[in-house]
Amino acid sequence: PANTSSGIVFIEDSWDDALKQAARQNKYIFVDAYATWCGPCKMLKARTFTDDKAAAFYNTNFVNVAIDMEKGRGPELAQKWQLRAYPTLIIFDSKGKPVLGTVGFINASELIRFGREALKK
């Protein structure tokens, strides 16, 4: 049956899994770096990430991972990536090198544009 996914499919809180999958599939990695208390983060999850077009684009082209930056390895990664605010959306290449990032809420068409720009790099 057709994949009636309700949005972008994310690996939860595992950067290592994302790296492994990206290497295996030769795909870029899309990271949703969020904090549980962050309002715009919740809006991204509710609106942008559930958009059919955005979901189709990201599920096809990227390994997607959502990381709570305040638990587990989150703080370590936040430091490594020098994150200052949430949400921060970052696209990495398959080796885990950052390609493009954006901070704050964006809508679905902006998210797709962001992804297309990263794939050109």
- Residues serving a catalytic function are 38, 41
Other Cβ atoms within 10 Å of 99 Cβ, number: 15
DSSP state, residue 82: T
